[in-house]
Structure 1
């Protein structure tokens, strides 16, 4: 196998991780969306600033589920302000638009089937009766009060204007989008500061993350059970423990620690709305170490380390290089996914960061099964029937796990496609749970589910009744 690509990949990932962390620690650190002189960008005939996108569950009275605006201030350029006198009343309009994803086509319009415009043009004013210079809004079919449009006016020649602190109650479960829009071309160069608070009935966790709190509780309990079973066997066979089994102990400990940390982090996030960058980065790093070490353990077991070969020999450096590369790729992906401001729609950066992890997983799977095939041949040649039978079962279990992972990935891709195509109508609790746990389950199938397999193999193979004085065949 050619490993030259790993050196280049590792170097690139190290630089990317350092750069990303540098930018990240200067950015927002909360699910409460914070804006610090964020600039508007030109989109069609409007200037637009995305404010966030999250799944929100409805509350009956709207008091426990809302989008709150606090200290939202808009700043225009001095040149734009100087065009007006101090006595003028309305000298610039900024509109705050909130809509449920199913109503996204209710914002904007097109004249004679041409390019879609966000702001009302003279032609659209004649055709649709909208007000020129404002956002085109058509009432929702389910609630005429939605989409919500809030107006914020500049006065006189002031450089800034402040929006009133208001709460927008959420009475319908769905995926909600927030945009700040200026249709006045004279407001070019507009920037905004302030924050918005997105709250679900049970806390500040976004819709896609809320079900994971219970998930991490169950996973913590599962790791506790596994830890107890492993510790009993670990003590029982203490004199015959292999170095690889010490590593498995470390993986189980890391897994338990990671699940507890995730639950604690989510609970704090849900209660306060704040997600400290340092703490979340630490949790993500523990997870990346655990995933990398688990994959390397599976690879070492497949190579027959401690069973048919005392050392990995010249492959040691390549295995460690692959582990380091996977750690960096996984760390970068998870930081992008979990650290910083949370929105329920991931950016394009995540898509590109998924590719190295997927490629490395595929490479690992190929190497695992190639090594496993060679180990089976060695065991067959030495006629070690008991170990051969165990390794065959191990191979079958790995094959089933990989196939299940591929099927789940295909299902998740299809579900995601339907998720976006159906205007985010699948925001119900059960479907959010499927989406959220699906991502975690896919990871577990490739890492966590593998963990009991080497435990079983090593205990079965390395038990006192099967081992020689050197622990080898």
Structure 2
């Protein structure tokens, strides 16, 4: 177990060491290289779901410079949505710069194209011969009338004009290298988001001599209510409501805990710990989202705390359900030798969940690609399956033991818990099927506005199951009735139950504990059946405590 924990911790440290800046609305570039296409060199500078500006008719120009659109003092939730260039710098090699010559004016061009996914077809043209898309205008295209004479050497962008006279479709900005300068810097300007959609920013070079240019700087993406990406905007109010819900549940639990502190069991303390952790996690997530909605940045420490709290909460919640299913505090006083197995499974799940959450939330601006997401989700799915099988097998054993001992109050409690857990499992299966359908039919992020629900559902389900456990195991004056107690001869009242099991087929009755026919043989059959049943009841726990319990149970049966 120690080796596994060390390996997981090392893997997490190595992963964090290679994570870039923890930003959601700021897309940063550090000497990013262009990649070659058919006739152009392109950098895919970012993509995000954006909501349309609420002030689309305020008279501000589409490309505003140092005005109200990009004023750092403006309110964050001012209804304006835009993509802003914050001094993006392009750098070319000394050889290419010298070839341009000093004092020769503009000697190299980089174009910045901002477009909504639905307008992607307005960039470039499809070559009729090769069937491949070409992005740059050349002399032949000019002669064919595909582009104008002023467009030669530039990206082909077809801009439409709306009914109000404003241009729609992709927006283009130009950055020129001057003379023999090695670097060229864009002005600080913003492009208004006029319609809701998935937006992309490309840096494009049509001159093959400048294909080796690198880019540094950043772009800022702002939605009407702040810097939260469109796919995460709904998570801010969601975590606000979740925090309030956990506070309400925690307040009710605290009242019951304080009012019946004399009857508090060890299981109650475990539920309290999970509830407190869940409440803290929701609050930290809320403040994390609120912070970078206002600033556009996510501090490493704050985000890491939220991520690791979420992973720890998920792990402890599953461990709590497992220990309750095993009858901790009700059927058995301790987990005995099973504690090490539960802890090992919990550590493996914690490491897998932490790595996945860190990659998704820290240093990742764009959504993960399907292949990377599958690689991260696969280990968690395996451990989830182990938890699920172990939980239901333990529940089956616990229900059997309670039925055998005729502990009706505890049996009713666990039956209610089993029903809640079965409903939770059924909802999980249905939602997993929905997630698979959602992701398989949304390979290009057309449903980005609904992505937040995929993760929110699991938080709602976790809260619901925790609320059920708080209700079923709430501290009260009757809590001692559900606590574990040593078996006494008076507790074992299953003789009549077993008598029915081995009763003669003709309905003959036992008298004084003996059968009318061959009573000694029937008694041996009954005892053998009891021992076999006891063996089955305890066979799932391969530890010393279970062996002692088995011997005690068989001794009392005899």
TM-score using structure 1 length: 0.88
Corresponding residue to 1:138 among 151, 158, 172:
158
2:52 alignment partner in structure 1: 58
Residue 14 (structure 1) aligned with residue 29 (structure 2): no
Q: Give the secondary-structure state (helix, strand or coil) at the position aligned to 2:125.
A: coil
2:146 alignment partner in structure 1: 129
C-alpha spacing 1:253/1:375, structure 2 compared with 1 (3 Å): same
State the Cα distance separating 1:443 from its structure 2 match.
Answer: 4.4
Q: Give the secondary-structure state (helix, strand or coil) at the position aligned to 2:86.
A: strand
Larger Rg: 2
C-alpha spacing 1:466/1:32, structure 2 compared with 1 (3 Å): closer
Residue 296 (structure 1) aligned with residue 319 (structure 2): yes
User: Does 1 or 2 have the higher relative contact order (CA < 8 Å, sep 6+)?
Assistant: 1
Q: Give the secondary-structure state (helix, strand or coil) at the position aligned to 2:221.
A: strand
State the Cα distance separating 1:176 from its structure 2 match.
Answer: 0.7
2:133 alignment partner in structure 1: 116
C-alpha spacing 1:128/1:395, structure 2 compared with 1 (3 Å): farther
Q: Does the 8 Å CA contact 2:124/2:134 hold for their aligned counterparts?
A: yes
C-alpha spacing 1:301/1:43, structure 2 compared with 1 (3 Å): farther
Corresponding residue to 1:407 among 414, 417, 430:
430
State the Cα distance separating 1:320 from its structure 2 match.
Answer: 0.6
C-alpha spacing 1:67/1:177, structure 2 compared with 1 (3 Å): same
C-alpha spacing 1:388/1:176, structure 2 compared with 1 (3 Å): same
2:391 alignment partner in structure 1: 368
Question: How far apart, CA to CA, are the structure 2 residues paired with 1:471 and 1:29?
Answer: 59
2:263 alignment partner in structure 1: 240
Question: How far apart, CA to CA, are the structure 2 residues paired with 1:96 and 1:283?
Answer: 36
CA offsets 1:254-298 (integer angstroms, 9 cap, x no match) = 111111111111111111112111111111111111111011000
Which has the higher mean CA deviation after the structures are superposed, 244-253 or 114-123?
A: 114-123
2:463 alignment partner in structure 1: 448
Question: How far apart, CA to CA, are the structure 2 residues paired with 1:121 and 1:245?
Answer: 75
Question: How far apart, CA to CA, are the structure 1 residues paired with 2:159 and 2:436?
Answer: 32
Question: How far apart, CA to CA, are the structure 2 residues paired with 1:332 and 1:109?
Answer: 42
Residue 48 (structure 1) aligned with residue 7 (structure 2): no
Question: How far apart, CA to CA, are the structure 1 residues paired with 2:172 and 2:485?
Answer: 78
Question: How far apart, CA to CA, are the structure 2 residues paired with 1:10 and 1:187?
Answer: 49
Q: Give the secondary-structure state (helix, strand or coil) at the position aligned to 1:372.
A: helix
Corresponding residue to 1:93 among 88, 91, 109:
109
Q: Give the secondary-structure state (helix, strand or coil) at the position aligned to 1:464.
A: helix
Corresponding residue to 1:23 among 18, 31, 39:
18
Q: 1:389-408 counterparts in 2 under 5 A?
A: 389-408=412-431
Q: Give the secondary-structure state (helix, strand or coil) at the position aligned to 1:83.
A: helix
Count of residue pairs the alignment pairs up: 459
C-alpha spacing 1:191/1:145, structure 2 compared with 1 (3 Å): same
Which has the higher mean CA deviation after the structures are superposed, 30-39 or 225-234?
A: 30-39
State the Cα distance separating 1:347 from its structure 2 match.
Answer: 7.2
Question: How far apart, CA to CA, are the structure 2 residues paired with 1:69 and 1:459?
Answer: 56
1:202 alignment partner in structure 2: 225
Q: Does the 8 Å CA contact 1:61/1:171 hold for their aligned counterparts?
A: no
1:268 alignment partner in structure 2: 291
Q: 1:417-456 counterparts in 2 under 5 A?
A: 417-420=440-443, 424=446, 426=447, 432=449, 434-445=450-461, 447-456=462-471
Corresponding residue to 1:327 among 346, 350, 354:
350
Which has the higher mean CA deviation after the structures are superposed, 365-374 or 347-356?
A: 347-356
State the Cα distance separating 1:23 from its structure 2 match.
Answer: 1.6
Which has the higher mean CA deviation after the structures are superposed, 111-120 or 294-303?
A: 111-120
Residue 382 (structure 1) aligned with residue 405 (structure 2): yes
Name the Cα RMSD after superposition. Answer: 2.8
